[in-house]
Amino acid sequence: MKARTTAEQPAVPTGARAARKRQAILEAARTVFLRDGFGAGVDLLAAEAGVSKVTVYNHFGSKENLFNAVIGQTLDEALEVAQSVIQAKLAESDDVRTDLVEACRTWVAGLTAPEVLALRNVLAGERHRFPELGSAWQEEGPGRQHAVLAAALGRLNDRGLLRIPDMELAVLQLSGLVLSPHLVYGAYGTALDEDLAERLVQGGVEMFLNQYGVDR
């Protein structure tokens, strides 16, 4: 098959006006996808954003690309605080327990926000038809967050404050301790109360440091 030339590929609109339209489309798409699911038509998405259907395609190319962009923006917002804490405080911490608790609190708070859980549930319902959507969530969410956390824990390991022989396993274990119960309950439309969520963070960090802390 002949490859498409650059001239055949429409350029994504640029400039301040285009940026405003793109943001309007993203915000409208998130509203519509959360309300109506991935089955919502592009006509409806365009109407919600106050733009033409052609404008939606000019910016995103397809509904799948638009959904991926919604995933990326939602997870950027959800993980911004957690990643800042992990990179700015945890990696250079002199009080690992305190700063790891704070990092886990912000991590859990971001990924258990109602819009994030709702979008995750929309994606779960469509993953059998559109498996690439699941890949986008994995890349933008767990994959990126785990890499940031692994880098910080690796720094603590290098500084002799932790002993972690298998970083991939350790990050998954921490996620399982502090975050996974929320995702299980969230899949059924329920939420853990604040007290239990805090106990999960405190207890999860305690178990993690019992395994990997140098003073255990």
3-state secondary structure 70-95: HHHHHHHHHHHHHHHHHHHHHCCCCC
What does the pLDDT read at residue 109? Answer: 93
Distance CA 83, CA 184 (A): 23
For 34-83, what is each residue's pLDDT tens digit?
998 888 899 999 999 999 999 999 999 999 899 989 998 999 999 999 99
Residues above pLDDT 90, as percent of the chain: 60
**Residue 177, pLDDT score:** 96
Position 166 pLDDT exceeds 90: yes
What the chain holds in terms of domains, given with CATH numbers, is 11-61 (1.10.10.60), 71-212 (1.10.357.10)
Average pLDDT, the chain: 88
Neighbours of 184 (CB within 10 A): 11
| Alpha carbon distance 83, 214 (integer Å) | 24
- Is pLDDT above 50 for 100? yes
What is the rounded distance in angstroms from the CA atom of residue 116 to the CA atom of residue 71?
A: 9
Which band of pLDDT confidence, cut at 50, 70 and 90, is reported for residue 2?
very low
Query: Which pTM was predicted?
Result: 0.82
**Predicted confidence (pLDDT) at residue 164 exceeds the cutoff of 50:** yes
Say if residue 152's pLDDT is above 90: yes
